[in-house]
Amino acid sequence: MHPRDSAIPKIIPDLQRAVRTALEEDIGSGDITAQLVPADRSARARVTTREDCILSGRAWVEEVFQQLDAELKLHWYFADGDRITANTVVLELEGNARAMLTGERTALNFLQTLSGTATTAAEFAAQAAGTEVKILDTRKTIPGLRSAQKYAVLCGGCYNHRIGLYDAFLIKENHIAAAGGIDTAVARARALNPEALVEIEVESIEELQQALKSGADVIMLDEFNDSETRTALSLAKGRAKIEISGSVDRDRIEQLGALEVDYISSGSLTKHLRAIDLSLRIDL
């Protein structure tokens, strides 16, 4: 089973909330324009992509129309994670015209944003092809769409870092300073939640050695050059995983993969996306 498939059941409550909120902000007291159409008018519609993309967001589109009119029928021609070429029909709908018109923008907003995220992730994944490095997302997501974008990252072939502040420790410079040092911070993390992954960000080889001694699971190298990275990898081998973050563009991924780092994390997967150009056209 692909990780994207196992992710959906876990995020259904969040998915329903996100769709409900999106519909409420758009519809407000009622869709006055849709009321121009007779209430019992039936129609067919099709959603077409105007550019190449990786599809993501089917469940969000389905939830939009489920909340508006459960009798609407949706027929998808592609699955999430599929690569689609421009000017291809992705989805056809059949049912109440008012419901289609009211849900059009919200459904497309989800689909274009998540497909944009997946497409960006696929570009990063392609750069890592042939290496063992895993590309991770971050918490730099659109507010309210954390789980949705992280799902889309999976559709594009990359991987999820921690979901939020609750499921793993990521100890950075300010945490280290406030906690009283690397050893103290890691020891407290282990005492608070022995099962949680502990990752620590370091800025020097000296800090790396402290993090290794403390027993951190993953060590993030902040702005290390290639020589320092090689040293870090040699010291950490068999003791901790190494993650690279900060100022990593797609051209740099292959180089870092060749160094055999374990992970590269990039906020660009979710914050620098460009929404995919989609259109919905109704045939009465």
Could you tell me the pTM of the whole model? 0.94
pLDDT in 10s for each residue of the chain, 284 residues: 677 888 888 888 899 999 999 999 999 999 999 999 999 999 999 999 999 999 999 999 999 999 999 999 999 999 999 999 999 999 999 999 999 999 999 999 999 999 999 999 999 999 999 889 999 999 999 999 999 999 999 999 999 999 999 999 999 999 999 999 999 999 999 999 999 999 999 999 999 999 999 999 999 998 888 899 999 999 999 999 999 986 677 678 887 887 889 999 999 999 988 999 999 999 87
Phi/psi of residue 116, each to 5°? -65, -40
Q: Rounded CA gap, 123 and 133, in Å?
A: 14
pLDDT, residue 95, reads 98
Cβ atoms within 10 Å, residue 87: 10
- DSSP conformational letter for 124: H
Domains and CATH numbers, the chain: 3-122+273-283 (3.90.1170.20), 126-271 (3.20.20.70)
Q: Provide the annotated active-site residues.
A: 105, 140, 172, 201, 222
Q: Say if residue 9 is exposed, middle or buried (CB neighbours under 10 Å; 0-12, 13-18, 19+).
A: exposed
Bridge partners, residue 265, by sequence = 136, 245
Closest C-alpha to 164, from 193, 141, 191, 190: 141
- DSSP 3-state of 78: coil
pLDDT, residue 6, reads 81
Phi/psi of residue 171, each to 5°? -95, 115
Is 253:264 a contact under the CB 8 Å cutoff?
A: yes
pLDDT, residue 174, reads 96
